[in-house]
Structure 1
Amino acid sequence: MAEAVAPPGIDILMPYYGDVALMQESVRSVLSQTDPDWHLTVVDDGEAAGVPEWFAALGDERVSYLRNPVNLGVSGNFQKCLGLARRERMVMIGCDDQLMPNYVARVRELERTRPGVGLIQPGVEVIDEHGEPVMGLADTIKRRLYAPKELHDGGPMSLAGEELAASLLRGNWLYFPSLCWRTDAIKASRGFREDLRVVQDLAVIIELVEKGESLLADSVPAFRYRRHSGSESSIAAVDGSRFDESRRFFTATADRMDEIGWPRAALVARRHRAVRLHALSLAPTALRQHDTALFRRLVRYAASTK
């Protein structure tokens, strides 16, 4: 039997929970695309009133809406969305992020320069909870310290193999919700692991890089990433749980990089300096909150060399 061929176009998948108004803004940003080569699927993991009716009123055959009968949680809902992807490419947009009108057009243009590329990172503008452009310390470091210098010169640029793995393990400068994936590549991965909350995106990316997939990164803005204090990563950072998770991930990844003969990537993973510096930056906050136990935990993690 001949293998089924994925239809062309981009599946835009939105695992939804949280603020209704921000989700609606995200959906409208998809509807505003200049290139019609897309389909949006929203998978609702919540119980907010009026949401099914709002989608029904859209009356747009390019938009599908599903509500989970039981709550699946973040990883479970991500995994369900992944299973619904049918087209050649897919993007897992955050339910409070926005596509710029040129997103689909720009991604398709980039793809034509590198047919079959595993991941495409378009240019990203960071916005706050009010939709205003913002550039805090985390994003400044991500772009100026960890992103390749060549990307600042205009891009697009291609990376693969140990060079890409080492770059991302030094500091993950990608914006996961903006990434456009080749669907068959991400579907062949382990997907979104239940044992990971904060670094699950990096885990999937490193797995694909190990399997030989490459990244095409661009500097032309096409995506708006919302940065606010209520994000999953911010909450995990406050209680220190992200660092326990990070230690497990980077230790296991370092061992794996050694196994496949990528010693530079292994060394970077073993050191994971960016995450340790992040822990140290949170220590003063723990002191201000009179949480001495958390303060000691953060300092110990920052000082750790394993």
Structure 2
Amino acid sequence: MNGIDIMLPHYGDTSYLKTAVRSVIAQDDEHWHLTVVDDSVTDNGLPEWFDSLHDDRIHYQRNDHNLGINANFQKCLDLAERDFVVVMGSDDAMLPNYISTVRRTTARFPDADVVQAGVEVINSTGQVVRPLTDRVKRSLYAPDTTTPRVMGGEDLVVSLLRGNWTYFPSLCWRRESLKDLGFRPGLRVVLDLALMIDLVERGGQLAVVPDLCFQYRRHDASVSSSLASLGGRFTEEHDFFLDIATRMDRIGWHRAAKAARMHLSSRLHALLLLPGAVGSRQTASAKVLIRHAFGTTKPVRK
């Protein structure tokens, strides 16, 4: 089916969700269909709000029970029907040219399996910011994105394992390319990176264009931030990178295996969070962060 499915898994703040939905409605290209999959556990008044929009391009559904991040994301992929699919964050926003930019890019690079267009970072109030994490990724790990290009193979995997410079909620995937793939069960933080590596490992290509068209929100209430403060993020990342290193060695991508074992940006992230954990006397989290940053021993599971 032609067009782009915007799949929006939701849990949490309804004001952010409404902002995200309004940003989709404001697109300058109408070749989209929005499906919101609500994983909330309490009544939030959203069914009535969506009914008030009177827009046949928007479909809202609520899960019978809480599925959790991974399963709800997978449900979004399973529900997609159109040629391309975006799994958008419910706290992010599209600029009006997102759909037109992606469609123009897929026409220019017909063999690309996924598109990463230009992204700016916003904070909890919607102001454009440049957090240290994003500045480091863009200056040290991201390739040159000032001109359109297509990437793939081991070079792309090495780049992503050094530091995942893509913004998952902004990625547009060719649905057919994800056939027989999906989010790895059990992952909550690196499920996006795992999906990308799985795709590239079997020959998938990423088209990168500089056109700014998406706003990615960073704030302390996000899932990744809350897990990071507890050290849980790094326990998951540690196990993931070791598994990927083994897989990369098996297929002969030894540079990628080395990058996975180093997981440099993940270690640096742990170091950045360490002062906060120490200052707030989160001893257990601090120990996990130290182990992950310096790679001394395997993080202790909680």
Task: Specify the alignment match of 1:99 in structure 2.
Answer: 94
Query: Aligned-residue CA RMSD in angstroms?
Result: 1.2
Matched, 1:54 2:49: yes
Indicate conservation of the 8 Å contact 2:115/2:206, yes or no.
yes
- Equivalent residue in structure 1 for 2:211, among 204, 220, 226: 220
Q: Aligned partners of 2:179 and 2:170: how far apart in 1?
A: 17
> TM-score with structure 2 length normalisation?
0.95
Task: Specify the alignment match of 2:35 in structure 1.
Answer: 41
Equivalences for residues 126-145 of structure 1 within 5 A:
126-145=121-140
- Equivalent residue in structure 2 for 1:155, among 133, 142, 147: 147
- Equivalent residue in structure 2 for 1:302, among 277, 293, 300: 293
Task: Specify the alignment match of 1:110 in structure 2.
Answer: 105
Aligned-residue offset at 1:296: 2.9
Aligned-residue offset at 1:292: 3.3
- Quick one: percent identity of the two aligned structures? 50
Residue ranges of structure 2 left out of the alignment (5+ in a row)? 298-302
Q: Aligned partners of 2:167 and 2:78: how far apart in 1?
A: 21
Task: Specify the alignment match of 2:251 in structure 1.
Answer: 260
Q: Which amino acid aligns with 2:175?
A: T
Q: Aligned partners of 1:128 and 1:214: how far apart in 2?
A: 31
Q: Aligned partners of 2:44 and 2:281: how far apart in 1?
A: 39
Give SS of 1:80's match.
helix
Q: Which amino acid aligns with 1:173?
A: W
Q: Aligned partners of 2:255 and 2:123: how far apart in 1?
A: 36
- Equivalent residue in structure 1 for 2:232, among 217, 231, 241: 241
Task: Specify the alignment match of 2:262 in structure 1.
Answer: 271
For residues 158-202 of structure 1, what are the alpha-carbon distances to aligned partners after superposition, in whole Å with 9 as ceiling and x for unaligned?
Answer: 11000000000000000000000000112321x123311111110
Give SS of 1:254's match.
helix
Task: Specify the alignment match of 2:300 in structure 1.
Answer: none
Give SS of 1:91's match.
strand
Matched, 1:27 2:10: no
Aligned-residue offset at 1:290: 2.1
Residue ranges of structure 1 left out of the alignment (5+ in a row)? 1-6
Kindly tell me the number of residue pairs found equivalent between the two proteins: 296
Q: Which amino acid aligns with 1:303?
A: F
- Equivalent residue in structure 1 for 2:222, among 198, 218, 231: 231
Give SS of 1:277's match.
helix
Q: Which amino acid aligns with 2:82?
A: R
Indicate conservation of the 8 Å contact 2:117/2:170, yes or no.
yes
Task: Specify the alignment match of 2:161 in structure 1.
Answer: 169
> TM-score with structure 1 length normalisation?
0.94
